[in-house]
Amino acid sequence: MSDEAQKPYTEGPMHSTSPVIDPGLTFASVTDKISSIVLKRKTSLAWFFGFAISFALFQLMLLAITNLVFVGIGLWGVNVPVAWGVDILNFVWWIGIGHAGTLISAILLLLRQRWRTSINRFAEAMTLFAVAQAGMYPIFHLGRPWLMYWLFPYPNTMGIWPQFRSPLMWDVFAVSTYATVSAMFWFVGLIPDFATLRDRARSKPFQILYGMLAMGWRGSARHWHRYEMAYLLLAGLATPLVLSVHTIVSFDFAVGIIPGWHATIFPPYFVAGAIYAGFAMVLLLTIPLRRFYGLEGFITMRHMHNMAKVMLATGLIVGYGYTMEAFFGWYSGNKYERFMIWNRMHGPYHLYYWALILCNIITPQFLWSKKIRSNLLALWIISFIVSIGMWLERFVIVVTSLHRDYLPSSWGQYQPTQWDWAMFIGTIGFFFTLLFLFIRFLPMISIFEMRTILPEAEVEE
């Protein structure tokens, strides 16, 4: 072993300042540390507390959905002209959050950004849970949700296919494919760790449970070979999805003829926004979690810096998007487009617009400063603001475009009701319920992948 190998992995000289993993860790300590959270560590009172709150909010969601299905979507604030409101914007918001996971897992894997290994498991789980929340909205925003299966192209006695020209139809495929591939990717990535947990579990039920999930993993070279291949293929599958899902979601709007929706800039701008929102959410969750479970050794300041830089970059793309929207509103010379921009800035919802600019364009500029990037509290607050900003962005796109379109006679107002909020808060509760279960019962950091970035793993060739 050369001296070089003794040094922690740093991805070359440019990033020599801060390591991606604590230099003091070894193969054994990595495994111990991560698996003990699941297997040994006493479940803390704080976990129970957090879980209880999330679970209560989850019940609120079930209540909201039950009421919705029995009474009708009139419970929400949607109307004509604003027939899509908080429901669809929450769908877009959650889907956006769900982008970070796959991006971190797949694209950074293909780009050989090895720092991703510390956060990919967690980000993937977050993706999956966010997509689960997002997936509920398109179903329950239907007037007759029990007929949602009509959107699927299945052979039926009605002799009718879905309408393939409709972006909602594309959504069905985009979101369901994304959810499936993300779930598979996540599960395949977990298999070696399930095996570790199986071997280390102290109680029989857990041994059996983890054993089943490990699918007979024995760690043989053949297993590893197949595993690597499968993982790479899935990453290859997932990579275009990162771009396609939000592109297609943006088509829901871009295909429409409503001023404020009908814009060619939407696909790239939506994808950038999604990554932006996704990284904000990863930071939002990682910072407290890392602190709470003492994972500073695995998720180092390198990760924080990198994620903050991704946020800054995507935030600038999003800011460019806003600018171009406003510019083309004016430059097109189209009276409806001009009015749309004017209405966003000065109409009844102008506060939402300016708050959006503040949250999404002004706030991330602080990330240029290394000092702020190094301050976890500041980073957390910025992430929080960006998450809100991304919600506002969808509100501005969905609601302010619809509420005043072509004919002044049909203009209207939109006001979310308590049931809109109940559903939204409920999905947040459901999201955290899943997240709490995840950090309690599954390794939130990939054990075996962490071991590959240890100095010990450096093999001289």
By CB under 8 A, tell whether 163 contacts other proteins: yes
By CB under 8 A, tell whether 396 contacts other proteins: no
Judged by CB under 8 A, the residue of 53, 63, 168, 381 near other proteins is: 168
Judged by CB under 8 A, the residue of 53, 63, 132, 142 near other proteins is: 142
Q: From 3-11, 125-133, 160-168, 192-200, give the range in contact with other proteins by CB under 8 A.
A: 160-168
Site for other proteins in 178-207 (CB under 8 A): none
The nearer residue to other proteins, 234 or 402, going by C-beta atoms, is 402
By CB under 8 A, tell whether 332 contacts other proteins: no
The nearer residue to other proteins, 72 or 288, going by C-beta atoms, is 72
The nearer residue to other proteins, 43 or 410, going by C-beta atoms, is 410
Amino acid at 48: F
Contact 245, 95 (CB under 8 A): yes
CB of 420 to other proteins, least distance (A): 12
Q: From 123-131, 141-149, 213-221, 241-249, give the range in contact with other proteins by CB under 8 A.
A: 141-149
Judged by CB under 8 A, the residue of 256, 313, 320, 437 near other proteins is: 256
CB of 399 to other proteins, least distance (A): 11
Query: What is the phi/psi pair of residue 454, to 5°?
Result: -70, 155
Contact 121, 115 (CB under 8 A): no
Judged by CB under 8 A, the residue of 382, 404, 430, 450 near other proteins is: 404
CA angle 329, 333, 338 (to 5 degrees): 40
The nearer residue to other proteins, 14 or 160, going by C-beta atoms, is 160
The sign of the CA dihedral 173, 179, 185, 187 is negative
Contact 91, 118 (CB under 8 A): no
Euclidean distance between CA atoms 456 and 193, whole angstroms: 19
Residues 48-87, one symbol each (x = binds other proteins by CB under 8 A, - = not), give: -----------------------xxxx--xxxxxxxx---
**Residue 216, both tokens:** 């007979």
Judged by CB under 8 A, the residue of 27, 384, 411, 421 near other proteins is: 411
The nearer residue to other proteins, 241 or 341, going by C-beta atoms, is 341
Q: From 138-146, 272-280, 378-386, 427-435, give the range in contact with other proteins by CB under 8 A.
A: 138-146
Residues 338-367, one symbol each (x = binds other proteins by CB under 8 A, - = not), give: -x--x---xxxx------------------
Q: From 179-187, 357-365, 401-409, 453-461, give the range in contact with other proteins by CB under 8 A.
A: 401-409
The nearer residue to other proteins, 167 or 211, going by C-beta atoms, is 167
The nearer residue to other proteins, 172 or 271, going by C-beta atoms, is 172
Number of residues near other proteins (by CB under 8 A):
56
Site residues for other proteins per CB under 8 A: 71-74, 77-84, 141-145, 147-148, 150-151, 160-163, 165-169, 172, 252, 255-258, 335-336, 339, 342, 346-349, 402, 404-413, 415
